[in-house]
Structure 1
Amino acid sequence: MALSLGLLLLLSSHPSASLAAPPANSTPAAIATVLDRDTVPDSPYRTEGPVVEILRLKVPAPLRQAWLRAERASWEPWLRQQPGFLDRQVLWDPANEEATLLIRWADRASWQGIPAEEVQRIQQAFESLAREHTGTARGNPFPLVFEGELVPQ
């Protein structure tokens, strides 16, 4: 869910809000705000029930198969081992050369409870495989362009 900078600042000043550390390549719109539902009335964040993590990555058409190989060898097996992980859809938009990943979790606590260090470790493994498969010397060949969450209604 993209938040405007003004809303992000307003929420971050609330006593029950805390800002999660953004990924190294994230933009202000991609910063996640974690709120305690009991102290923020009508919060769009749910503490119970399923939630869908949404990620969009830049994936150029000539590198699509390399991206899929790196995903299948890193994120896919790791996600299957996570408590609360239900399933994921891996989609690709050829017109915009972007991938969309919809990762369904049993509840927000399962998803948000994963230590940032663990996520970073898997991200580094993914990037290493992606560089190997694309012949890229450094960095992430498939940068994150958006991250957020969707709440099933």
Structure 2
Amino acid sequence: MTVLARLLAVALCLAMLLAGHADVAIAELDRPDGGFEVAVVEHLRLKVPVEARQAWIDAEKGSWEPWLTQQDGFLDRQLLWDPATEEGTLLIRWASRDQWKAIPEQDLEAVQERFEQLARQATGAQQGNPFPLVFEGELLPP
């Protein structure tokens, strides 16, 4: 996929989110025949206070980022931060919903534990998840 096509796909997803159409987004993949395949976007929001923003980014880079790159069907992800709500938004593109949902729960739990451990170390928290999940959903094509 060309850089321009990727940027347009991301811009479309973000525009739809901002317009209040969080139930619909399109992510595209190049196919050998020049067409596109529709993918699913995992959509997560976490509470990320301004003073802990860099700790969140570092915990993501030390846990989810390397793990995701090894997963079948993973395409890419974006980390976004909203200073008004102090929330982090993750948009994670998958080649198919089946590939995303085929990941064993215990694998997800292990990576989440690593993320929380790194987050606690960086923030000084003694227990729990310093960046609790606020919203979890998926964005599908129309």
1:70 aligns with 2:59: yes
Instruction: Looking at secondary structure, tell me which structure has more strand per residue.
Output: 2
Name the structure where helix makes up a greater proportion of residues.
2
Corresponding residue of 2:135: 146
Residue 56, structure 1, aligned to residue 56, structure 2: no
The answer for the alignment partner of 1:93 in structure 2 is 82
Cα RMSD after superposing both structures: 1.1
Q: In the TM superposition, what are the counterparts of 1:1-153 in structure 2 within 5 Å?
A: 49-153=38-142
Provide the TM-score with structure 2 as the length reference.
0.73
What CA distance in whole angstroms lies between the structure 1 residues aligned with 2:54 and 2:91? 19
Q: Paired residue for 2:20?
A: none
For the Cα contact (< 8 Å) 1:49–1:108, is it kept in 2? no
Find the counterpart in structure 1 of residue 16 from structure 2: none
- How many positions carry a matched residue from both structures? 106
1:49 deviation in Å? 3.9
Runs of 4+ in 1 over 3 A off after TM superposition: none
- Please say if residues 92 and 99 of structure 1, whose CA atoms lie closer than 8 Å, have aligned partners that are also in contact: yes
Q: TM-score, normalised to structure 1's length?
A: 0.68
Unaligned stretches of 5+ in structure 2?
A: 1-36
Q: What is the rounded CA distance, in whole Å, between the counterparts of 1:114 and 1:143 in structure 2?
A: 21
Residue 129 of structure 1 and its aligned partner are, at CA, apart by 0.3
C-alpha deviation, 1:151, in angstroms: 1.0
What fraction of aligned residue pairs are identical, expressed as a percent? 65
| 5+ residue gaps, structure 1 | 1-47
* Matched residue, 1:27: none
Question: What letter is aligned with 2:128?
Answer: G
